[in-house]
Amino acid sequence: MKQKITFSCATTLKVRNPIVHIYCRKDEQYVDVRGIVDDKKELLSEFEDFFLGEPDCFPLKSSELEHFLLDCMADNELSSFIRSANELLDKFPYYAM
């Protein structure tokens, strides 16, 4: 899927150890499951109640994201989600930019 999307994935919000939200960024555009916005503050406003002050954002390599997701779900579930995301991008290629 990363080959289809020109956004560098992923950046994540973190509260202590748990990951709160994962999003991708390209220049000054941010994309997550809700869509694409140009304003980082708007993107993160949904999660303000998780943080005191500024959120802790850090880059996450694709392999690290895959490892994290495999800790959360079975391999076949992750494969199904990735397959569905690829089908969505094939059907609506303008989302991949």
- Of 34, 20, 41, 17, the closest CA to residue 95 belongs to 34
- Global confidence as pTM: 0.60
Comparing 84 with 97, the larger pLDDT belongs to: 84
**What is the pLDDT, as a whole number, of residue 56?**
74
| Helix (H) or strand (E) segment spanning residue 87 | helix 75-91
Dump pLDDT digits (tens) for 12-33: 555 445 666 788 888 888 888 8
Which bin fits 16, alpha (ψ -120 to 50), beta or left (φ > 0)? left
Tens digit of each residue's pLDDT (9 = 90 or more) over 38-69: 998 898 888 888 777 777 777 888 888 888 88
Query: Per-residue pLDDT for 79 more than 70?
Result: yes
pLDDT of residue 15: 47
Please, where are the H alpha helices in 9-74? Answer: 40-44, 62-72
